Amino acid sequence: MGKYSLENYEKYKTVKIRPQPLLNREFDTSLGQFEYVSFSWRTLEPVRGEYRLEAIHEALHTAQNPILVLVPELPIWAPDYAPDCFAALIRKVGSYIDSDRRLTAVLISTLADSKEEWNAYMESFEVQTLLAELQNDRLIQHLRERSRGFGLLVKCSEENWIECCEAFAIHKLQKAWKRYQVVLHVTDDICGPHTRREAYRWHAGLSNLNIGLGYHLALRRLTYPETVYSRGSLPLRFWFVNGGSSRIYREFQLWVQLKQGEVSYEYPLHAATHSWLTGDLVHNEMVPLKDMLPGRYTLSIALYFEDRSYIPLHIQNPQQDGYYEAGTIQVELSDEDPLMNIWDTYYPEGYYPLEDPVVPEQE
Protein backbone atom coordinates (compact mmCIF):
# COMPACT_ATOMS: atom_id res chain seq x y z
CA MET A 1 0.00 0.00 0.00
CA GLY A 2 1.50 3.34 -1.06
CA LYS A 3 2.06 6.37 1.13
CA TYR A 4 -0.78 8.25 -0.53
CA SER A 5 -3.12 5.28 -0.79
CA LEU A 6 -6.73 6.15 -0.08
CA GLU A 7 -6.81 3.68 2.83
CA ASN A 8 -4.44 5.91 4.79
CA TYR A 9 -6.97 8.75 4.79
CA GLU A 10 -10.20 6.93 5.67
CA LYS A 11 -12.07 8.49 8.59
CA TYR A 12 -13.31 5.09 9.77
CA LYS A 13 -12.27 1.46 9.41
CA THR A 14 -13.69 0.06 6.19
CA VAL A 15 -14.34 -3.24 4.47
CA LYS A 16 -13.65 -3.34 0.75
CA ILE A 17 -15.31 -6.10 -1.26
CA ARG A 18 -13.99 -6.90 -4.73
CA PRO A 19 -16.03 -9.81 -6.14
CA GLN A 20 -14.52 -12.21 -8.64
CA PRO A 21 -16.22 -11.96 -12.06
CA LEU A 22 -17.92 -14.92 -13.66
CA LEU A 23 -15.97 -16.83 -16.27
CA ASN A 24 -16.96 -16.27 -19.89
CA ARG A 25 -18.56 -19.70 -20.16
CA GLU A 26 -20.81 -18.90 -17.19
CA PHE A 27 -22.48 -15.92 -18.88
CA ASP A 28 -26.11 -16.32 -19.91
CA THR A 29 -25.84 -14.68 -23.31
CA SER A 30 -29.44 -15.52 -24.22
CA LEU A 31 -30.70 -12.54 -22.18
CA GLY A 32 -30.08 -10.40 -25.26
CA GLN A 33 -32.31 -12.43 -27.56
CA PHE A 34 -35.86 -11.46 -28.51
CA GLU A 35 -38.86 -13.16 -30.10
CA TYR A 36 -41.50 -11.70 -32.36
CA VAL A 37 -45.06 -12.15 -31.13
CA SER A 38 -46.89 -11.80 -34.45
CA PHE A 39 -50.63 -11.76 -35.02
CA SER A 40 -52.43 -11.09 -38.27
CA TRP A 41 -55.33 -8.68 -38.60
CA ARG A 42 -57.35 -11.57 -40.03
CA THR A 43 -56.81 -13.58 -36.80
CA LEU A 44 -57.50 -10.76 -34.37
CA GLU A 45 -60.62 -9.40 -36.11
CA PRO A 46 -62.16 -12.21 -38.20
CA VAL A 47 -65.51 -10.41 -38.17
CA ARG A 48 -65.71 -6.65 -38.26
CA GLY A 49 -65.96 -5.30 -34.71
CA GLU A 50 -65.43 -8.72 -33.09
CA TYR A 51 -61.94 -8.95 -31.58
CA ARG A 52 -60.09 -12.04 -30.39
CA LEU A 53 -57.15 -10.65 -28.44
CA GLU A 54 -56.73 -13.23 -25.67
CA ALA A 55 -54.05 -15.06 -27.65
CA ILE A 56 -51.72 -12.07 -27.24
CA HIS A 57 -51.66 -12.50 -23.48
CA GLU A 58 -51.09 -16.23 -23.84
CA ALA A 59 -48.12 -15.70 -26.15
CA LEU A 60 -46.44 -13.33 -23.69
CA HIS A 61 -46.26 -16.11 -21.09
CA THR A 62 -43.64 -18.06 -23.04
CA ALA A 63 -41.89 -15.54 -25.32
CA GLN A 64 -38.51 -14.15 -24.33
CA ASN A 65 -38.25 -10.36 -24.64
CA PRO A 66 -41.40 -10.33 -26.82
CA ILE A 67 -41.85 -7.71 -29.54
CA LEU A 68 -45.43 -7.37 -30.76
CA VAL A 69 -46.04 -7.26 -34.51
CA LEU A 70 -49.49 -6.66 -35.99
CA VAL A 71 -49.38 -8.16 -39.47
CA PRO A 72 -51.68 -6.23 -41.87
CA GLU A 73 -53.15 -9.33 -43.49
CA LEU A 74 -56.59 -8.34 -44.73
CA PRO A 75 -59.55 -10.19 -43.23
CA ILE A 76 -62.24 -11.40 -45.62
CA TRP A 77 -64.61 -8.59 -44.73
CA ALA A 78 -62.13 -5.72 -45.30
CA PRO A 79 -61.90 -3.79 -48.58
CA ASP A 80 -58.66 -3.82 -50.56
CA TYR A 81 -57.53 -0.46 -49.16
CA ALA A 82 -58.52 0.00 -45.53
CA PRO A 83 -55.86 1.82 -43.47
CA ASP A 84 -58.60 3.42 -41.35
CA CYS A 85 -59.91 -0.03 -40.38
CA PHE A 86 -56.39 -1.27 -39.58
CA ALA A 87 -55.85 1.86 -37.46
CA ALA A 88 -58.98 0.94 -35.50
CA LEU A 89 -57.49 -2.49 -34.80
CA ILE A 90 -54.23 -0.89 -33.64
CA ARG A 91 -56.14 1.29 -31.17
CA LYS A 92 -58.09 -1.70 -29.86
CA VAL A 93 -54.94 -3.75 -29.30
CA GLY A 94 -53.22 -0.78 -27.68
CA SER A 95 -56.04 -0.29 -25.18
CA TYR A 96 -55.88 -4.02 -24.40
CA ILE A 97 -52.13 -4.61 -24.02
CA ASP A 98 -50.39 -1.25 -23.48
CA SER A 99 -49.98 -1.65 -19.72
CA ASP A 100 -48.54 -5.19 -19.87
CA ARG A 101 -44.95 -4.99 -18.59
CA ARG A 102 -44.03 -8.35 -20.11
CA LEU A 103 -44.00 -6.72 -23.53
CA THR A 104 -40.58 -5.41 -24.57
CA ALA A 105 -41.67 -3.26 -27.52
CA VAL A 106 -44.19 -2.81 -30.33
CA LEU A 107 -43.06 -2.67 -33.95
CA ILE A 108 -44.83 -0.03 -36.03
CA SER A 109 -46.17 -2.13 -38.92
CA THR A 110 -48.83 -0.72 -41.24
CA LEU A 111 -51.02 -1.51 -44.20
CA ALA A 112 -50.41 1.70 -46.15
CA ASP A 113 -47.61 3.50 -44.24
CA SER A 114 -50.12 6.24 -43.50
CA LYS A 115 -50.08 8.92 -40.82
CA GLU A 116 -53.42 7.66 -39.60
CA GLU A 117 -51.88 4.30 -38.75
CA TRP A 118 -48.74 5.86 -37.26
CA ASN A 119 -50.85 8.11 -35.04
CA ALA A 120 -52.91 5.12 -33.92
CA TYR A 121 -49.73 3.51 -32.56
CA MET A 122 -48.57 6.72 -30.86
CA GLU A 123 -51.92 7.44 -29.25
CA SER A 124 -52.82 3.92 -28.12
CA PHE A 125 -49.39 2.68 -27.02
CA GLU A 126 -48.43 5.37 -24.52
CA VAL A 127 -46.47 3.10 -22.15
CA GLN A 128 -44.81 0.65 -24.51
CA THR A 129 -41.69 1.42 -26.54
CA LEU A 130 -42.46 1.84 -30.23
CA LEU A 131 -39.92 0.58 -32.76
CA ALA A 132 -39.41 2.25 -36.12
CA GLU A 133 -37.52 0.49 -38.89
CA LEU A 134 -34.24 2.28 -39.48
CA GLN A 135 -34.83 2.65 -43.21
CA ASN A 136 -38.31 4.19 -42.86
CA ASP A 137 -37.36 7.83 -43.30
CA ARG A 138 -40.90 9.21 -43.36
CA LEU A 139 -41.92 7.43 -40.16
CA ILE A 140 -38.84 8.62 -38.28
CA GLN A 141 -39.49 12.18 -39.41
CA HIS A 142 -43.14 11.94 -38.34
CA LEU A 143 -42.26 10.60 -34.89
CA ARG A 144 -39.83 13.46 -34.39
CA GLU A 145 -42.35 16.05 -35.52
CA ARG A 146 -44.78 14.66 -32.95
CA SER A 147 -42.05 14.64 -30.27
CA ARG A 148 -42.58 10.93 -29.67
CA GLY A 149 -39.59 8.91 -28.52
CA PHE A 150 -38.91 5.67 -30.32
CA GLY A 151 -36.55 2.73 -30.55
CA LEU A 152 -35.09 1.26 -33.71
CA LEU A 153 -35.37 -2.03 -35.55
CA VAL A 154 -32.23 -2.51 -37.64
CA LYS A 155 -32.46 -5.20 -40.32
CA CYS A 156 -28.83 -5.84 -41.07
CA SER A 157 -26.69 -8.31 -43.01
CA GLU A 158 -23.15 -8.58 -44.34
CA GLU A 159 -24.42 -7.00 -47.57
CA ASN A 160 -26.19 -3.91 -46.23
CA TRP A 161 -24.32 -3.08 -43.01
CA ILE A 162 -22.76 0.01 -44.61
CA GLU A 163 -26.20 1.30 -45.62
CA CYS A 164 -27.34 0.82 -42.01
CA CYS A 165 -24.35 2.84 -40.78
CA GLU A 166 -25.23 5.57 -43.27
CA ALA A 167 -28.85 5.65 -42.09
CA PHE A 168 -27.73 6.11 -38.47
CA ALA A 169 -25.55 9.03 -39.55
CA ILE A 170 -28.16 10.68 -41.81
CA HIS A 171 -30.85 10.62 -39.11
CA LYS A 172 -28.34 11.40 -36.32
CA LEU A 173 -29.45 8.37 -34.35
CA GLN A 174 -26.09 7.43 -32.83
CA LYS A 175 -27.32 8.34 -29.32
CA ALA A 176 -30.83 6.90 -29.65
CA TRP A 177 -29.84 3.89 -27.52
CA LYS A 178 -29.44 6.05 -24.42
CA ARG A 179 -33.23 6.30 -24.07
CA TYR A 180 -34.78 3.57 -26.22
CA GLN A 181 -33.94 0.07 -27.40
CA VAL A 182 -31.96 -0.56 -30.56
CA VAL A 183 -33.04 -3.99 -31.80
CA LEU A 184 -30.97 -5.91 -34.33
CA HIS A 185 -32.62 -8.28 -36.77
CA VAL A 186 -29.88 -10.29 -38.47
CA THR A 187 -31.17 -11.28 -41.90
CA ASP A 188 -28.30 -13.72 -42.54
CA ASP A 189 -28.39 -17.29 -41.21
CA ILE A 190 -25.51 -16.44 -38.89
CA CYS A 191 -24.24 -13.10 -37.63
CA GLY A 192 -21.20 -12.05 -39.66
CA PRO A 193 -18.24 -10.05 -38.32
CA HIS A 194 -19.31 -6.68 -39.79
CA THR A 195 -22.84 -6.98 -38.42
CA ARG A 196 -21.58 -8.03 -34.99
CA ARG A 197 -19.08 -5.17 -34.81
CA GLU A 198 -21.61 -2.55 -35.80
CA ALA A 199 -24.24 -3.96 -33.43
CA TYR A 200 -21.95 -3.20 -30.50
CA ARG A 201 -21.14 0.23 -31.91
CA TRP A 202 -24.87 1.01 -32.20
CA HIS A 203 -25.34 -0.30 -28.63
CA ALA A 204 -27.97 -2.77 -29.78
CA GLY A 205 -29.52 -4.50 -26.77
CA LEU A 206 -31.50 -7.28 -28.43
CA SER A 207 -31.12 -9.53 -31.46
CA ASN A 208 -33.06 -12.35 -33.09
CA LEU A 209 -29.84 -14.41 -32.86
CA ASN A 210 -27.88 -15.14 -29.70
CA ILE A 211 -24.77 -13.00 -30.18
CA GLY A 212 -24.25 -11.86 -26.59
CA LEU A 213 -26.00 -8.49 -26.74
CA GLY A 214 -27.59 -6.76 -23.76
CA TYR A 215 -26.36 -5.60 -20.37
CA HIS A 216 -23.65 -7.43 -18.39
CA LEU A 217 -23.66 -5.86 -14.94
CA ALA A 218 -20.99 -6.66 -12.35
CA LEU A 219 -20.04 -5.26 -8.95
CA ARG A 220 -16.42 -4.21 -9.15
CA ARG A 221 -16.09 -2.86 -5.58
CA LEU A 222 -18.21 -2.16 -2.48
CA THR A 223 -16.88 -0.18 0.49
CA TYR A 224 -18.62 0.00 3.87
CA PRO A 225 -17.66 0.40 7.57
CA GLU A 226 -16.51 -2.49 9.71
CA THR A 227 -18.93 -1.33 12.44
CA VAL A 228 -22.21 0.59 12.36
CA TYR A 229 -24.77 1.46 15.00
CA SER A 230 -28.43 0.62 15.47
CA ARG A 231 -30.60 3.55 14.30
CA GLY A 232 -27.43 5.13 12.95
CA SER A 233 -26.01 5.60 9.45
CA LEU A 234 -24.48 3.15 7.01
CA PRO A 235 -22.22 4.82 4.41
CA LEU A 236 -22.01 2.71 1.26
CA ARG A 237 -19.82 3.25 -1.80
CA PHE A 238 -20.61 1.18 -4.90
CA TRP A 239 -18.66 0.71 -8.10
CA PHE A 240 -20.53 -1.26 -10.74
CA VAL A 241 -19.50 -1.92 -14.33
CA ASN A 242 -21.84 -2.56 -17.23
CA GLY A 243 -19.62 -4.37 -19.69
CA GLY A 244 -22.45 -5.16 -22.09
CA SER A 245 -23.59 -3.56 -25.33
CA SER A 246 -26.54 -1.61 -23.91
CA ARG A 247 -28.13 -0.12 -20.83
CA ILE A 248 -31.02 -1.60 -18.82
CA TYR A 249 -34.27 -0.07 -20.09
CA ARG A 250 -36.73 -1.33 -17.49
CA GLU A 251 -37.02 0.55 -14.21
CA PHE A 252 -35.06 -1.08 -11.39
CA GLN A 253 -33.79 -0.25 -7.92
CA LEU A 254 -30.70 -1.00 -5.84
CA TRP A 255 -31.35 -2.73 -2.49
CA VAL A 256 -29.23 -3.67 0.53
CA GLN A 257 -30.02 -6.41 3.02
CA LEU A 258 -28.56 -6.98 6.49
CA LYS A 259 -29.33 -10.49 7.71
CA GLN A 260 -28.65 -12.39 10.92
CA GLY A 261 -30.16 -15.86 11.02
CA GLU A 262 -33.89 -15.54 10.36
CA VAL A 263 -33.90 -11.79 11.00
CA SER A 264 -33.29 -9.53 8.02
CA TYR A 265 -33.57 -5.82 7.25
CA GLU A 266 -34.03 -4.55 3.69
CA TYR A 267 -33.19 -1.02 2.57
CA PRO A 268 -34.16 0.42 -0.84
CA LEU A 269 -31.50 2.86 -2.02
CA HIS A 270 -31.84 6.04 -4.06
CA ALA A 271 -29.40 5.29 -6.87
CA ALA A 272 -30.21 7.14 -10.11
CA THR A 273 -30.44 3.85 -12.02
CA HIS A 274 -32.51 5.50 -14.78
CA SER A 275 -29.31 7.25 -15.90
CA TRP A 276 -27.02 4.21 -15.78
CA LEU A 277 -25.61 3.49 -19.23
CA THR A 278 -22.57 1.33 -20.04
CA GLY A 279 -19.12 1.40 -18.48
CA ASP A 280 -18.36 2.45 -14.90
CA LEU A 281 -21.30 3.24 -12.60
CA VAL A 282 -20.65 4.78 -9.18
CA HIS A 283 -23.11 5.39 -6.35
CA ASN A 284 -22.47 6.64 -2.80
CA GLU A 285 -25.25 6.77 -0.23
CA MET A 286 -25.70 7.29 3.51
CA VAL A 287 -28.36 4.75 4.56
CA PRO A 288 -30.35 5.39 7.79
CA LEU A 289 -30.56 2.12 9.71
CA LYS A 290 -33.58 0.78 11.56
CA ASP A 291 -33.68 -0.21 15.22
CA MET A 292 -31.55 -3.38 15.06
CA LEU A 293 -30.32 -5.94 17.55
CA PRO A 294 -26.53 -5.87 18.05
CA GLY A 295 -24.45 -8.57 16.42
CA ARG A 296 -22.73 -9.59 13.19
CA TYR A 297 -24.83 -9.42 10.04
CA THR A 298 -24.35 -10.59 6.47
CA LEU A 299 -24.52 -7.65 4.07
CA SER A 300 -25.99 -8.45 0.65
CA ILE A 301 -27.00 -6.38 -2.38
CA ALA A 302 -29.62 -6.81 -5.10
CA LEU A 303 -30.99 -5.04 -8.15
CA TYR A 304 -34.74 -5.58 -8.53
CA PHE A 305 -37.17 -4.70 -11.29
CA GLU A 306 -40.58 -3.39 -10.29
CA ASP A 307 -42.09 -6.90 -10.43
CA ARG A 308 -39.42 -8.08 -7.95
CA SER A 309 -37.56 -10.13 -10.54
CA TYR A 310 -33.85 -9.51 -10.15
CA ILE A 311 -30.97 -8.52 -12.39
CA PRO A 312 -28.24 -11.19 -12.45
CA LEU A 313 -24.79 -9.86 -11.58
CA HIS A 314 -21.75 -11.33 -13.30
CA ILE A 315 -19.96 -12.15 -10.06
CA GLN A 316 -19.15 -15.41 -8.29
CA ASN A 317 -20.61 -14.43 -4.90
CA PRO A 318 -23.40 -16.64 -3.47
CA GLN A 319 -26.90 -15.49 -4.42
CA GLN A 320 -30.29 -16.16 -2.88
CA ASP A 321 -33.56 -14.64 -4.10
CA GLY A 322 -31.60 -12.01 -6.01
CA TYR A 323 -29.41 -10.95 -3.08
CA TYR A 324 -25.67 -11.41 -3.56
CA GLU A 325 -23.63 -11.82 -0.39
CA ALA A 326 -20.92 -9.18 -0.11
CA GLY A 327 -19.47 -9.59 3.39
CA THR A 328 -20.21 -9.18 7.09
CA ILE A 329 -20.75 -6.09 9.21
CA GLN A 330 -20.90 -5.52 12.96
CA VAL A 331 -23.92 -3.69 14.42
CA GLU A 332 -23.59 -2.17 17.89
CA LEU A 333 -25.66 0.02 20.21
CA SER A 334 -24.85 3.68 20.75
CA ASP A 335 -26.60 6.86 21.78
CA GLU A 336 -24.72 8.74 19.06
CA ASP A 337 -24.36 8.40 15.30
CA PRO A 338 -20.64 8.96 14.61
CA LEU A 339 -20.99 8.18 10.89
CA MET A 340 -23.91 10.47 10.03
CA ASN A 341 -21.79 13.46 8.94
CA ILE A 342 -18.58 11.60 8.20
CA TRP A 343 -18.54 12.66 4.53
CA ASP A 344 -18.93 16.36 5.33
CA THR A 345 -15.23 16.88 5.92
CA TYR A 346 -13.69 14.75 3.19
CA TYR A 347 -14.54 13.20 -0.14
CA PRO A 348 -14.23 9.41 0.17
CA GLU A 349 -13.37 8.70 -3.46
CA GLY A 350 -9.99 10.29 -3.93
CA TYR A 351 -9.46 13.82 -2.59
CA TYR A 352 -6.78 13.46 0.03
CA PRO A 353 -3.73 15.58 0.99
CA LEU A 354 -0.57 15.50 -1.06
CA GLU A 355 2.89 16.74 -0.14
CA ASP A 356 4.25 19.78 -1.93
CA PRO A 357 6.84 18.79 -4.53
CA VAL A 358 10.43 19.20 -3.49
CA VAL A 359 12.59 21.57 -5.54
CA PRO A 360 15.33 19.54 -7.23
CA GLU A 361 18.82 20.23 -5.98
CA GLN A 362 20.89 22.28 -8.37
CA GLU A 363 24.37 21.11 -9.17
- Using alpha carbons, select from 56, 211, 234, 191 the residue that is nearest to residue 128: 56
Q: What is the CATH number of domain 6-21+216-344?
A: 2.70.50.60
Fold for the domain defined by 29-207: TIM Barrel (3.20.20)
Q: Judge if pTM exceeds 0.85.
A: yes
261 exposure class (CB count in 10 Å sphere: 0-12, 13-18, 19+):
exposed
Report domain extents, the chain: 6-21+216-344, 29-207
pLDDT in single tens digits along all 363 residues of the chain: 555 555 666 778 899 999 999 886 666 777 899 999 999 999 999 999 999 999 999 999 899 999 999 999 999 998 878 999 999 999 999 999 999 989 999 999 999 999 999 999 999 999 999 999 999 999 999 999 999 999 999 999 999 999 999 999 999 999 999 999 999 999 999 999 999 999 999 999 999 999 999 999 999 999 999 999 999 999 999 999 999 999 999 999 999 999 999 999 999 999 999 999 999 999 999 999 999 999 999 999 999 999 999 999 999 999 999 999 999 999 999 989 999 988 887 666 654 444 445 555 654
Q: Is 176:205 a contact under the CB 8 Å cutoff?
A: no
